[in-house]
Every structure is written in C-alpha cells, then in structure tokens.
Amino acid sequence: MTSRLPDAEALIPRLAAELKGRVTPATAMIGLHTGGAWVAERLHPLLGLKEPLGLMDIAFYRDDYAKEGLKHDPKRTRIPFEVEGRDLLLVDDVLYTGRTVRAAMNELFDYGRPRSIALVVLADRGGRQLPIAAQHAGAQVEVPAGKRLRLKRAANGRLTLELEDAG
Amino acid sequence: MPANPQLNANGELQHLLSIEGLPRAILEQILNTAESFVGVTEREVKKVPLMRGKSVFNLFFEASTRTRTTFEIAAKRLSADVINLNVSVSSQTKGESLLDTVANLSAMQADVFVVRHGSSGAPYLIARHVKPHEHVINAGDGRHAHPTQGLLDLYTIRHYKKDFGALTVAIVGDVLHSRVARSLIHGLTSLGVPEVRVIGPQTLIPAGVAALGVRVFHDMRAGLKGCDVVVMLRLQNERMNGPLLPSAQEFFKNYGLTAEKLALAKKDAIVMHPGPMNRGVEIDSPVADGPHSVILPQVTFGIAVRMAVMSIVAGN
C-alpha cells in the first residue's frame, strides 16, 4: 500500500529548485515542529538563505485547547531573526485541515509583521476546513478514509511518508 | 477515595496541591512546558491566546504581593481573565466559611482557583469540593507546601545545571518553617538528585527530615563543601529573638551565606533564594548581587512555570 506514496527524499530537491525562484534578500524560513522542522532543516541549506532557520511549535495557538488541553510537551519556538518585513517561507510536512497553518500565522504575527508568507509543504492531502492553500506542495496525495499521512524520520535522517490509522 | 487528589482518572494533573506524590513524568511535563513559555516571555508580545475566555481567581487568604503578582502576570500572559481577591479583608472577616466563599466564586464561572492560605491543607479542602471543570493551584498553605515555588526552583536548577543526575544541592536556614524547602526536597528527590543536604541550627531543622532522603548538617562550612546549588531560605523576622534563635547577628555568623563560605562550594555553584531576602541575615549583599546569584532569573522563570502549571491543569 505504501508503494503508492511519493518518495519524500525525491520531493525535497524538487521543492528546493521550485523555491529558488522566489528567494529575495528578505527571505527567511520557519519550520513547524515536528515534521515541518525536518523538511525545513533539509530545504534551508539548499536555498543558501542568509538567516538561520526558525523553528516553531504552535501548541499555544491551537484551536482545540479547550477540548484537548496540552497533551504533548511543546517545543520552544525559536525565531533567530526579525520577522518584521520578511518574506517568510513557512514549511510543514503535510497540509490537511489548515488549522495548524492558521495557528502558525497567528503566532508569527506576535513576533512582527512579515512582508509576505508563502506556505511550503511536502505533501498536500486535501480536506481543508479553512481557506488556506499551499503556494508550493511537493506532491498531492490521496489518503483513504480512516488513515493519516505522516512523515517519519529514520535514525540516519532519511525521510519517508507513511500511512497510519487515524487515532 | 482516589489515591492522589491531584490527578484525574487519566492520571493527568487536575490540581496542583503539592510536589509530593507527583509522578516524575508530570514534573518533567511542567518543566518542559515552562521552557517553551520562557521563549514567549522573551518576545515583544509576551502573550499567547491559550486561555482566552477562562477565568483565574487569585484567592489570597494570606497576604503575598509577590506570589500573587506573578500568578496574575502568568494568567494575563495566557490571555485569561484574572480576578484578585484579598479574602482576609473581606468575607472571612464577615464570618463566611471557606467553602461558602469558594461556592460563591464558582457561581461566577471560575476555571482556576489560585489559593494562598495560612492553614496547611486548605487548598486540598477546596479541591475536594470544586466542580470537575474547576482547578485548584496551591500558592502556599501554612507550613505545608508551596509547589510552584518548588517547581520554579527545579526549573532554575535545570536551566543552569542541565542534568539533575549528578548534583549536590544544599538548602540552608529555617527549614522548619519553610514550605518552600519541603516542596523542593520532594521535587529534587523525584527528579533523581543524588544528594540533597539541609543545613541549619538544630532548632530550625524539623525532626525526621532525614526520612525524606536528605543529609543534615549543623555546620554550614561542612555542608557547603562540593555543592552545585545553594538554596538560601528566608529567615522570617518574627522568628528572630524568639526561643529558637538568639539573634539575627548570631544567625548570620553561623548560617549567613558570605563569599568566604560560598568559596567552599563548587566554583560554578549557583545561589538561589525564594525572596524576599533579608540581606545581612541569611545572605550577604555581595553574594546576593554576585556572579553566582540566580535570584532574579528565578523570578522571571517563576512566571513561565506558573503559565505552564495553569495551562496544563486548565486543559485537563
């Protein structure tokens, strides 16, 4: 079954080539914990960006806190550059409902007012519940009902897309 | 009756009443979450929307400007609404019972009660009577516990020393009357600190403290040898010149932290104090303001730790 899924490793250089065209002197990159951070860590050096990579955990901006609480220990958001006036590349692994991206944008604006934000994802699985779209998607993936698309990282750093049962 | 009144049926933190009896995993969850909130408190916008629409009632039956203020700041940075009630000067003087006060506040749609009370156990009593969606945080009860102070001490130690597994920590001064000391001792042993020492005069060390797994020293110089962390406790003014202590000067001579005594600890030792400090009684000014002191960072971390505790309990 997993044979139908795209090879995450092959998607990364293709995405990087696509992104090169939009890099400006004001461009900086932010990866979303955890999967988006893995993708961003790979894309960042390929683009030769001046600013170090930013990493964000959107736990404090989620819209399901009232229902779910804080179940996982949030990672610390670290944005080692001024957000004000930047052209930001916001990187996530899988785009689904769009809720994570909404939370991420809310958090970003508490750091400053970027000039632009472009959404970059490794895989877009459809199913949006909010008016959000990726400007750059490595692949469109159809996910069967009851399944979830997850990015995994092996001990050697190799990235793979896998289907698992939605819990 | 459930084994641990602080945990819900899923083993998650429902109330924070004491560090005693909290599983190590929950202590670590609080410290890890606090670390993320430290990041928030360093931003220009020091606020997250997490607890928007929730109400935090600061119920202080005993005066404490500092602790109340840090809880208030923490709640505001979580976007909660904060209501400060100085109960000692209102209902209680009119004869309202503790539980009546809480029932009335509960009718005003509270989500979190932060309770400071002069009697040990008062927050437990409240926790037993609140509704399932209401949460109680102990902000100091009698001589019993002050868990958020203990947690911020643990956070500070982890921040500077990284790993609890090889540390020697000394707690110095009036251990007998200190709720901070008890909370901290439980936390340190739960997180695997191999050597916890208490240092103080016989009259201010509670009998049986060794049963908590600590080493007792009456000679401060011997006790400080090789320490990584020195936690000074506040000597409460009302204890001075009482039957337990001859005088502040005498106490300072034997148990006040001076640069000369601190030199016996490790070179990179940190000095902590829960505040407010009595300079020249338990700590000498050059030490309080010196390079080993992390007393002011403790205050800053305290806000992030209280944000972590509030957001964890209110979400469970």
Query: Distance between CA atoms of B172 and B181, rounded to whole angstroms?
Result: 9
- Degrees (nearest 5) of the Cα angle A72, A75, A77? 140
Numbered residues of chain A with Cβ closer than 8 Å to any chain B Cβ: 57, 59-61, 65-66, 68-71, 73-78, 106-107, 110-112
Q: Which of B5, B3, B26 is nearest to B124 (CA)?
A: B5
The pLDDT score that the predictor gives to residue A2 is 45
The Cα–Cα gap between B85 and B64 comes to: 12
* Chain segment A3-27, per-residue pLDDT in tens: 579 999 999 999 999 999 999 999 9
Query: What per-residue confidence (pLDDT) applies to B95?
Result: 65
Query: Contact B193/B154 with Cβ under 8 angstroms?
Result: no
Q: Worst-scoring range by mean pLDDT, A6-10, B39-43, B193-197? A: B39-43
Q: What is the pLDDT of residue B101?
A: 85
Per DSSP, B293 falls in state B
Give the pLDDT of residue B68.
93
Q: Which helix (H) or strand (E) holds B199?
A: strand B195-199
Q: Tell me the pLDDT tens digit for each residue of B150-179.
A: 999 999 999 999 999 999 999 999 999 898
Q: Which amino acid would we find at residue B123?
A: P
**% of chain B beyond a pLDDT of 70:** 95
Closest CA to B234 of B244, B221, B248: B248
- Calculate the average pLDDT of chain B: 92
Alpha carbon of residue B253 to chain centroid:
27
Angstroms from A122 CA to nearest CA on chain B: 26
Please give the backbone phi and psi of residue B39, each rounded to the nearest 5 degrees, phi first: -60, -40
Q: Between chains, do B50 and A68 touch, taking CB under 8 Å as contact?
A: no
Give the per-residue pLDDT at B87.
Answer: 78
Beta pairing class for A54-56 and A27-32 = parallel
Determine the residue type at A129: Q
Assign residue B241 a region (left: φ > 0; alpha: ψ between -120 and 50; beta: otherwise): left
Gyration radius from chain A CA atoms: 15
pLDDT exceeds 70 at position B239:
no
List of chain B residues whose C-beta atoms are within 8 Å of the C-beta of residue A75:
36
Judged by phi (left if over 0) then psi (alpha if -120 to 50, else beta), residue B270 lies in beta
The answer to whether ipTM exceeds 0.90 is: no
Mean pLDDT of B15-39: 96
Q: How many CB atoms lie within 10 A of CB B54?
A: 23
Per-residue pLDDT 10s for chain A (167 aa) are 445 799 999 999 999 999 999 999 999 999 999 999 999 999 999 999 999 999 999 999 999 998 999 978 899 999 999 999 999 999 999 999 999 999 999 999 999 999 999 999 999 999 999 999 999 999 999 999 999 999 999 999 999 999 999 87
State residue A1's pLDDT score: 45
pLDDT for the residue B249: 87
By the CB < 8 Å criterion, does B96 face chain A?
no
Q: What is the pLDDT of residues B76-117, one digit of tens each?
A: 999 999 999 887 666 666 667 888 888 888 898 899 999 999
Q: How far apart are CA B277 and CA B66, in angstroms?
A: 12
Please report the pLDDT score of residue B19 as a whole number: 96
Higher pLDDT, B236 or B84: B84
CB contact (8 A) between residue A74 and residue B47: no
CA–CA dist B153, B121 (Å, integer) = 22
Among the listed ranges B1-10, B103-112, B225-234, B285-294, which one has the minimum average pLDDT value?
B1-10
Chain B residues with CB-CB distance to A80 below 8 A: none
pLDDT at position B1 is: 42
Runs of H (alpha helix) within A65-162 = 65-68, 99-109
The packing angle between helices B65-77 and B295-315, to 10°, is 50
With beta carbons less than 8 A apart as the criterion, state whether A76 and B35 touch. yes
Mutate to test the interface with A, among B10, B31, B42, B43 (most CBs of A within 10 A): B43
CA-to-CA separations, B127 to B5, B22, B24, B136, in angstroms, rounded: 8, 16, 22, 6
Residue A158, classified by CB atoms within 10 Å of its CB into exposed (0-12), middle (13-18) or buried (19+), is: exposed
d(CA A4, CA A147): 14
How many C-beta neighbours within 10 Å does residue A58 have? Answer: 23
User: Tens of pLDDT along B124-158?
Assistant: 999 999 999 999 999 999 888 999 999 999 999 99
Q: Quote the pTM value.
A: 0.91
**What single DSSP character describes residue A42?**
H
